[in-house]
Chain A
Amino acid sequence: MIYADYNATTPLDPEVRAAMNEALDVTFGNPSSIHSAGQAARRLVDRARVQVAGLIGAAADEIVFTSGGTESDNLAVLGVAEAATGHGIVTSAVEHKAVLDPCKYLQAKGHAVTFLPVDRDGRVDIAALEAAVKTDVALVSLMLANNDTGAIQPVAEAARAAQAAGVLVHTDAVQAAGKLPIDVKELGVSLLSFSSHKIHGPKGAGALFVRRGVRLTPLVHGGRQERTLRPGTENVPAIVGFGKACELARARLDADARRVAELRDHFEKQILARVPGTRVNGGNQRLPNTTNIAFPRLDGEAITINLDMLGMAVSTGAACSSADKTPSHVLVAMGQSAAEARSSVRFSFGRDTTDEEVDRASNLVVQAVKILREALP
Chain B
Amino acid sequence: MSERIAIAMSGGVDSSVAAAVLKQAGHSLIGVTLKLQECHDAHGSKSCCGVDGITRARDVAGSLGFPHYVLDCVKDFEELVLLPAWQEYASGRTPSPCLHCNERVKFGLLLDWAARLGIPRVATGHYARLEKDEAGRPMLLRGCDTGKDQSYFLAGLSLDQLGRAVFPVGHLRKPEVRELAKNQGLPTAETPESQDACLVAPGESYSEMLRKHFAAPARPGAIVDEAGKLVGQHDGFHVFTIGQRKGLPAGAPARRWVKAISPESGQVTVTSDASELVDTEFVAKQVNWLAGALPAQPLACSVQVRYRHASEPATICAQADSSLRVTLKKPVKAITPGQAAVFYDGDRTLGRGWIG
Chain A interface (Cβ < 8 Å from any Cβ of B): 299, 302, 305-306, 308-309, 320-324, 371-372, 374-375
Contact = CB atoms under 8 A, between A and B. Distances in A.
A372 B118 contact: yes
Contacts of B28: 309
Given A305-B30, A309-B30, A322 B118 contact: no
A371 B118 contact: yes
A322 B30 contact: no
Contacts of B118: 302, 306, 371-372, 374-375
A302 B117 contact: yes
B69 A321 contact: yes
A375 B120 CA distance: 8
A321 B67 CA distance: 13
B72 interface: yes
A234 B342 CA distance: 65
A321 B30 contact: no
Max count, chain B CB within 10 A of own CB: residue among A320, A321, A324, A372: A321
Interface stretch (B108-116, B209-217, B235-243): B108-116
Contacts of A323: 71-73, 75-76, 109, 113
B70 interface: yes
A308 B72 contact: no
B64 to A, nearest CB: 14
Nearest to B28: A309
Given A305-B30, A309-B30, A309-B67, A321 B72 contact: yes
| Residue of A299, A323, A374 most packed against chain B (CB within 10 A) | A323
B72 A320 contact: yes
A305 B117 contact: yes
B117 A375 contact: yes
Interface in B175-227: none
Contacts of B116: 299, 302, 372, 375
Contacts of A309: 4, 28, 30, 67
| Size class of the B contact interface (CB-based, 8 Å) | 10 to 19
Nearest to B119: A375
Interface in B16-30: 28, 30
Contacts of B120: 375
A299 B119 CA distance: 14
Contacts of A372: 116-118
B117 A321 contact: no
Interface string B309-336: 0000000000000000000000000000
A2 to B, nearest CB: 14
B36 to A, nearest CB: 12
Interface string B69-86: 111110110000000000
Interface of B: 4, 28, 30, 67, 69-73, 75-76, 109, 113, 115-118, 120
A309 B69 CA distance: 12
A306 B116 CA distance: 11
B67 A322 contact: no
A302 B70 CA distance: 13
Contacts of B109: 323
A375 B4 CA distance: 12
A297 B4 CA distance: 22
Contacts of A306: 117-118
A305 B30 CA distance: 9
Contacts of B117: 302, 305-306, 372, 375
Nearest to A375: B118
Contacts of B30: 305, 308-309
A352 B86 CA distance: 55
A198 to B, nearest CB: 24
A305 B69 contact: yes
7 contacts: A305-B30, A308-B67, A309-B28, A321-B72, A322-B72, A323-B109, A323-B113
A371 B30 CA distance: 15
A375 B118 CA distance: 5
A288 to B, nearest CB: 29
A371 B4 CA distance: 11
Contacts of B115: 375
Nearest to A373: B118
Contacts of B4: 309
A371 to B, nearest CB: 4
Contact of B71 (A302, A308, A322, A375): A322
Given A305-B30, A374-B118, A320 B76 contact: no
A366 B37 CA distance: 36
A167 B98 CA distance: 59
Q: Which 10 A-B pairs have the closest CB atoms?
A: A322-B72, A375-B118, A371-B118, A302-B117, A308-B67, A321-B71, A321-B69, A323-B76, A372-B118, A305-B117
Contact of A305 (B67, B72, B73, B75): B67
Contacts of B75: 323-324
Nearest to B71: A321
Nearest to B69: A321
Given A322-B72, A323-B71, 5 more contacts: A302-B117, A305-B67, A305-B69, A322-B71, A323-B75
A299 B117 CA distance: 8
Nearest to B35: A322
A322 B30 CA distance: 15
A302 B113 CA distance: 9
Contacts of A305: 30, 67, 69, 117
A322 B118 CA distance: 17
B65 to A, nearest CB: 12
B40 to A, nearest CB: 15
Contacts of B73: 322-323
A323 B75 CA distance: 9
Nearest to A308: B67
Nearest to B120: A375
Nearest to B77: A323
A162 B4 CA distance: 55
